[in-house]
Structures are given as structure tokens and as C-alpha cells.
């Protein structure tokens, strides 16, 4: 399992490097694909989609597709229009297929769109900023960097359970190590790329702060995804990534961190 997880992680990082460095339509298409896969995992967990054709799930996927077209062409003024239109379409499906779906499934379909597609799209917005090719990696340093550091510290000295019911293996010591490790990675990353950025000077202060805050929020994202799984009696969201589970199992914290880094960068790094 360890080697499977390690190899899958290396492949995932390599793909992320290629896609994010390419940016533009490659990144937009990749985020669209990841969003639809992630929404599908969540829809199956919530009982919105099963082996039968699901009009409610289809409406969510179409909303995701339209949304990423708008994101790519920078039609941000129409973002609220997409949200409102999707809600109306979901309610129309609810009405005209009644009583196939419960109210909770309709709200779940809308939640899945916002939770996965909208939050992940912040990665594209971050990449398109000035110095975005450098700023975008703060998302992954705060997420995957925190995960790795928290795991190592937790394995070595972890004694106090952080959330026994949701994630028994996570410890307070691991959480502290994860935040500290993410901040340290922020310092190292700032030193490595700072000379190439247009905002020289600010990165040495803001990068470790952004990574530390992101690490804290990543834990909320991780535990939130675990809570959904517990509520619906599933161990993993999927089996797409060997050793890791599904898209949401690997990107649960990235989803939460992406908008945080995006707005930090908007206010402090532009």
C-alpha cells in the first residue's frame, strides 16, 4: 500500500506540474474534468446518482461545463447568473421528476457544484494572476505539504487525538507539525522563487503566512470530507487514484485552500 500510494502521489504531482505550468485552456480543461469527476463522487455518496440515468446529476454537470467556459473567457460578471440559472434548472428537474428526488438531494446537487467546481476554479484564477505561475503552488504547499508534515510528526510523537470520531489517526501534535511544516515550506519556496517575481520583498513575509493559514484551513476541508463520508457510510469517495481513493479523497483540502490563497494573493501580492 505504501509503494502504491507513493507512486500514485509522484504521478499526480508530475501531472499537476505539467498542467499548471501550461495554464490557459489546458488548466481550465483539467479543472473541468477534475470537477466533474469530483462532483460525480459526491453525487454518488449523496444518492443523487446511481446506476440509473440521473437528470439531477446531469444538470449539475452541465452547470459545471458552462461555468468553466465562463471562467476561461473571464466572464466573471456572469458567475452569479450561472448559479441562479443552475438552481432554477435543479428545481425544475425536482418538480418535473417528482417524487423521484428528495429535497436534500436537490440541495446536495447545488452544494456539490459550489463545493467542488466553484472552489476549484480559484486555482485557474490564481494561475492567471500576475506571478500566478509561482503563486498557484502555494495551494499545494499548504495542502499536500501540510498532509505530509502532519503525517510524519503524528507518526513520531502523536498522542492526543484531534477528532477521534471523524479521523481517529489525526493527532494534535500532527496538526501543529503540519502547520509549522507548511510555514517552513513557504519560507523555502519564497527563497527559491522570490527573485523571479515582480513583487520582490513581500513574498518572504506572505508566503509562510499564507501556507500556515492554508494548512489550518486544509484540516477543516479534510475533516469536512471525512464527515460526509461518515454520514453516508463510505470509506473512500472512489478508487480512481490507487492508494489514495477518489478525487475528493486527494483534493478535499485543496478545494478549501484554493479560494483562501486566491483572495490572499489578490489583496497582498498584486
pLDDT tens digits for range 57-73: 999 999 999 999 999 99
Q: Is residue 14 part of a domain?
A: no
Q: Which grid cell is 240?
A: 480512481
Q: State whether 120 and 181 are in the same domain.
A: no
Domain end among 85, 103, 128: 128
Q: Is residue 5 part of a domain?
A: no
Show the domain range for 242.
131-270
223-236 average pLDDT score: 88
Contact between 43 and 54 under an 8 Å Cβ cutoff? The reply is yes
**Looking at the chain, how many residues does it have?**
270
| Neighbour tally for 88: CB within 10 Å | 11
Q: Is residue 69 part of a domain?
A: yes
Q: State whether 94 and 163 are in the same domain.
A: no
Q: State whether 92 and 135 are in the same domain.
A: no
Q: State whether 204 and 123 are in the same domain.
A: no
Q: State whether 101 and 202 are in the same domain.
A: no
Q: Is residue 95 part of a domain?
A: yes
Question: From residue 202, how far is each of 111, 134, 142, 209, 264 by CA, in Å?
Answer: 36, 14, 18, 11, 12
Residue that is written with C-alpha cell 425544475 in the block: 92
Q: Which grid cell is 224?
A: 469536512
Contact between 28 and 67 under an 8 Å Cβ cutoff? The reply is no
Q: Is residue 15 part of a domain?
A: no
Domain end among 103, 128, 153: 128
Which helix (H) or strand (E) element contains residue 40?
helix 24-45
pLDDT digits (tens, 9 = 90+) for 73-85: 988 888 999 999 9
Among 137-146, 147-156, 159-168, 171-180, where is mean pLDDT lowest? 159-168
Residues 6+ apart with CB under 8 A from 190: 203, 204, 207, 208
Whether pLDDT at 2 is above 60? no
d(CA 11, CA 224): 26
Whether pLDDT at 1 is above 60? no
82-99 average pLDDT score: 96
Contact between 247 and 257 under an 8 Å Cβ cutoff? The reply is no
Whether pLDDT at 238 is above 60? yes
Residue 245 DSSP SS3: strand
Whether pLDDT at 232 is above 70? yes
Which helix (H) or strand (E) element contains residue 162?
strand 161-163
pLDDT digits (tens, 9 = 90+) for 37-49: 999 999 999 999 9
Q: State whether 66 and 80 are in the same domain.
A: yes
Whether pLDDT at 33 is above 80? yes
Q: State whether 171 and 187 are in the same domain.
A: yes
Domain end among 128, 155, 178: 128
Q: Is residue 16 part of a domain?
A: no
d(CA 192, CA 182): 15
Q: State whether 148 and 246 are in the same domain.
A: yes
Eight-state DSSP code of residue 50: -
- Statement: the pTM of the whole predicted model exceeds 0.85: yes
d(CA 50, CA 66): 23
Q: State whether 172 and 198 are in the same domain.
A: yes
Q: State whether 102 and 51 are in the same domain.
A: yes
Q: Is residue 149 part of a domain?
A: yes
d(CA 157, CA 235): 26
pLDDT digits (tens, 9 = 90+) for 95-104: 999 999 999 9
Specify the number of domains making up the chain.
Answer: 2
100-117 average pLDDT score: 96
Q: Is residue 112 part of a domain?
A: yes
d(CA 22, CA 45): 33
Residue % of the chain over a pLDDT of 90 = 57
Choose among 173, 186, 167, 145: nearest CA to 230.
Answer: 167
Whether pLDDT at 200 is above 70? no
Provide the pLDDT for residue 180.
92
- Residue 152: pLDDT band (50, 70, 90) is confident
Provide the pLDDT for residue 43.
96
Q: State whether 208 and 124 are in the same domain.
A: no
Q: State whether 160 and 257 are in the same domain.
A: yes
Amino acid at each position: 500500500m505504501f509503494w502504491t500510494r507513493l507512486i500514485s502521489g509522484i504521478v499526480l504531482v508530475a501531472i499537476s506540474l505539467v498542467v499548471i505550468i501550461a495554464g490557459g485552456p489546458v488548466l481550465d480543461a483539467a479543472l473541468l474534468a477534475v470537477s466533474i469527476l469530483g462532483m460525480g463522487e459526491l453525487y454518488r455518496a449523496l444518492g443523487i446518482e446511481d446506476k440509473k440515468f440521473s437528470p439531477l446529476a446531469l444538470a449539475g454537470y452541465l452547470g459545471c461545463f458552462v461555468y468553466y467556459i465562463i471562467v476561461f473567457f473571464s466572464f466573471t460578471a456572469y458567475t452569479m447568473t450561472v448559479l441562479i440559472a443552475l438552481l432554477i434548472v435543479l428545481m425544475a428537474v425536482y418538480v418535473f421528476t417528482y417524487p423521484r428526488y428528495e429535497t436534500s438531494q436537490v440541495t446536495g446537487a447545488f452544494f456539490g457544484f459550489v463545493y467542488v467546481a466553484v472552489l476549484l476554479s480559484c486555482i485557474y484564477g490564481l494561475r492567471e494572476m500576475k506571478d500566478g505561475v509561482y503563486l498557484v503552488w502555494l495551494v499545494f504547499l499548504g495542502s499536500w505539504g501540510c498532509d505530509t508534515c502532519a503525517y510524519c510528526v503524528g507518526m513520531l510523537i502523536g498522542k492526543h487525538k484531534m477528532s477521534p470520531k471523524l479521523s481517529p489517526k489525526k493527532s494534535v501534535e500532527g496538526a501543529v507539525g503540519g502547520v509549522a511544516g507548511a510555514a517552513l515550506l513557504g519560507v523555502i519556496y519564497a527563497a527559491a522563487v522570490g527573485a523571479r517575481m515582480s513583487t520582490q520583498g513581500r513574498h518572504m513575509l506572505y508566503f509562510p503566512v499564507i501556507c500556515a493559514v492554508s494548512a489550518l484551513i486544509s484540516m477543516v476541508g479534510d475533516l469536512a470530507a471525512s464527515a460526509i463520508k461518515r454520514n453516508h457510510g463510505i470509506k473512500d469517495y472512489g478508487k480512481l487514484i490507487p492508494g489514495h481513493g477518489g478525487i475528493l479523497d486527494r483534493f478535499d483540502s485543496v478545494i478549501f485552500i484554493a479560494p483562501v490563497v486566491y483572495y490572499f494573493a489578490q489583496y497582498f501580492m498584486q
